[in-house]
Amino acid sequence: MTDNLHPGWKPEFGIIYTWFGMDKNGKIGVFVNNCWGEIPDVILNDGGAEGILDAISEYVHEESDVFTSFPLDKNGDFVVDMFPAWTGPKTKEKVKQLYNDSLSKTNPLSYANLPVNKGFYIYYAVEGSFPGEDYPVGYDGNTEMGDYYRYLVPTVFGSINDFPDELKSGIAVSDTIDFTVDRLIANKSISKHFKTMYGQ
């Protein structure tokens, strides 16, 4: 399989990648790049990046044929922090209702399953077909395409121990970011904040 993620890779319109990060307090975040979000250099430089990210995604959505033992559901809830202006429902309440409905119908494939039963934060990258078309509703400052904003917040938290040992090394680690505080992470700074992989 060709690995499209490599040192020097740059985001562009076409493929959406999901990568995984751990903050300085051990909480787990799922980062959806929406085509324009950077992926930390430490992931790109690790070799086989696309393969390990796909393996983690399959695992957290309980689709993996290799890793078939999963932690018990957290049975928590989630809060909508910010949401995209460009697409989808236009209020927090409607966003939450949309995900609640999808959770009941398509669990565990719903995005809502990640905060509710896995205990993960979800960060979305600002998308759009041109700058300014999309922005995170609920954020007062300026944003650029690719900036990651806090989208869904869990009420019960997962940890690195919820992953098989073979997948832990695919999770980028930050010693500066606190998911409970940092609502927006600038795209241009993502590699400065996530500088190591778990276990390094």
DSSP string for 45-76: TTSSHHHHHHHHHHHHTT--SS----PPP---
pTM above 0.85, yes or no: yes
CA distance linking residue 56 with residue 17, whole number of Å: 12
How confident is the model at residue 25, as a pLDDT? Answer: 98
In DSSP terms, which residues pair with 60 in a beta bridge?
none
pLDDT in tens, 82-109: 999 988 888 999 999 999 998 877 777 7
Q: Which two tokens stand for residue 93?
A: 């309440």
pLDDT in tens, 33-80: 999 999 999 999 988 999 999 999 999 999 999 999 999 999 999 999
Closest CA to 171 of 52, 36, 4, 25: 52
Higher pLDDT, 4 or 55: 55
CB 123 within 8 A of CB 150: yes
User: What is the full DSSP assignment across 109-167?
Assistant: SSTTHIIIII--EEEEE---SSTTS--EET--S---TT-EEEEEEESS---GGGS-HHH
14-37 mean pLDDT: 97
Residue 1 has pLDDT above 50, yes or no: no
pLDDT in tens, 122-173: 999 999 888 889 999 999 999 999 999 999 999 999 999 999 999 999 999 9
CA distance linking residue 113 with residue 143, whole number of Å: 27
CB 98 within 8 A of CB 146: no
How confident is the model at residue 200, as a pLDDT? Answer: 79
In DSSP terms, which residues pair with 28 in a beta bridge?
22
Residue 121 has pLDDT above 50, yes or no: yes
